């Protein structure tokens, strides 16, 4: 590679498109290890952490509203706002999903608390959940190295995956996101890759070269991927997985994890930092 080309490449990988806009004030929620975040259509922010009271709700301006979930969770992992407006969570330690109203009322528990399994009604360390355009939902059942597909009523439809390194296999199906074509992207933590699937489980592609994807967010024709082992962020090209930029160090990110996007800003959980960093596009 010519020196001029190498300099341009180095600049592109250090001058990040996304830069810090500060941190969400979590103090009133008495946060513990930070895990998940999502934001509803009104801008309300829901945070899942591993402190004494696991779920915290903030309004669109970041003002603390309330907390709930004390004593329920063993290893809180992801929190998502479902198409129904309810708040869905995964508990990696108790092997269940829980669904709450936006005010914290427990509506139902999916799976059996403290009973891991590999059938359609049990999970083993579920990590993530998402919905397609039909309202069907998919669970990243990390301990069973599979993705489980349910319809909008919660009926089992399909599953795919097993332990391994081949296409369609997983070390741990840790994080997921979905595009507007209903293609599902799975962060295969341990195998250092993102795998791409049709929503029927058909394998499409494998992206590599950026370590383990702890969390993902699609932003137009790009994707942000967090690498918690190296405290770095990667900007990837949609369609190819090509690395467009990478940046970060322990003084910038403290084990970056799952994230949410709202009004052009990225809200990034940091496990070791017990914090949520807000990223916005840098002015050019």
Look over the chain and give the mean of its residue pLDDT values, rounded to a whole number. 94
Query: How many CA within 13 A on the CB side of residue 62?
Result: 11
Is 140 a residue whose pLDDT tops 50?
A: yes
What are 79-116's pLDDT values in tens digits? Answer: 999 999 999 999 999 999 999 999 999 999 999 999 99
What is the C-alpha separation between 47 and 54, in angstroms, rounded?
Answer: 8
Q: Which of 102, 180, 197, 84 is nearest to 140 (CA)?
A: 197
Cβ-based burial of 102 (10 A; exposed 0-12, middle 13-18, buried ≥19):
middle
Contacts of 263 (CB under 8 A, 6+ apart): 43
What are 210-262's pLDDT values in tens digits? Answer: 999 999 999 999 999 999 999 999 999 999 999 999 999 999 999 999 999 99
Mean pLDDT of 151-168: 98
CATH number, domain 3-281? 2.120.10.30
Length of the chain: 284
Q: Which strands form 106-110's sheet, in the order they lie side by side?
A: 76-81, 87-91, 96-100, 106-110
Strands 137-141, 126-131: pairing is antiparallel
For the whole model, what pTM was predicted? 0.93
Q: Where are the domains of the chain?
A: 3-281
What are 179-215's pLDDT values in tens digits? Answer: 999 999 999 999 999 999 999 999 999 999 999 999 9
pLDDT for 10: 40
pLDDT for 15: 55
Handedness of CA 152, 158, 162, 168 (dihedral sign): negative
| Residue pair 229/244 in contact by the 8 Å Cβ criterion | no
What is the C-alpha separation between 129 and 211, in angstroms, rounded?
Answer: 22
8-state DSSP, 253: -
Mean pLDDT of 249-278: 96
pLDDT for 200: 97
Mean pLDDT of 17-33: 95
Residue tagged 């690498």 (tokens): 227
pLDDT tier at 3 (50, 70, 90 boundaries)? very low
Pick 123 or 13 by higher pLDDT.
123
């Amino acid at each position: 590679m010519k020196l001029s080309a190498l300099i341009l490449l180095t600049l592109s990988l250090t001058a990040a498109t996304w830069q810090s806009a500060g941190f969400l004030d979590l103090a009133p929620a008495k946060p513990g290890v930070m895990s998940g975040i999502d934001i509803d259509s009104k801008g309300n922010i829901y945070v899942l952490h591993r402190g004494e009271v696991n779920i915290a709700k903030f309004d669109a301006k970041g003002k603390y509203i309330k907390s709930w979930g004390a004593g329920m969770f063993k290893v809180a992992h992801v929190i998502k706002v479902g198409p129904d407006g309810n708040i869905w969570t995964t508990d990696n330690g108790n092997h269940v999903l829980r669904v709450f109203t936006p005010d914290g009322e427990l509506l139902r528990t999916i799976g059996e608390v403290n009973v891991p399994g590999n059938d359609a009604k049990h999970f083993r360390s579920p990590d993530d959940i998402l919905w397609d355009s039909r309202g069907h939902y998919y669970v990243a059942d990390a301990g069973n190295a599979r993705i489980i597909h349910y319809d909008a009523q919660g009926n089992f439809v399909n599953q795919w995956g097993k332990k391994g390194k081949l296409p369609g296999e997983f070390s741990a199906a840790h994080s997921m996101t979905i595009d507007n074509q209903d293609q599902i992207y799975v962060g295969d933590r341990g195998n250092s890759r993102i795998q791409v699937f049709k929503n029927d489980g058909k394998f499409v592609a494998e992206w590599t070269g950026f370590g383990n994807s702890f969390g993902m967010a699609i932003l137009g024709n790009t994707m942000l991927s967090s690498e918690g082992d190296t405290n770095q962020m990667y900007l990837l090209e949609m369609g190819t997985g090509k690395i467009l930029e990478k940046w970060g160090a322990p003084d910038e990110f403290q084990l970056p994890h799952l994230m949410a996007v709202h009004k052009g800003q990225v809200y990034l959980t940091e496990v070791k930092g017990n914090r949520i960093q807000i990223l916005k596009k840098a002015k050019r």
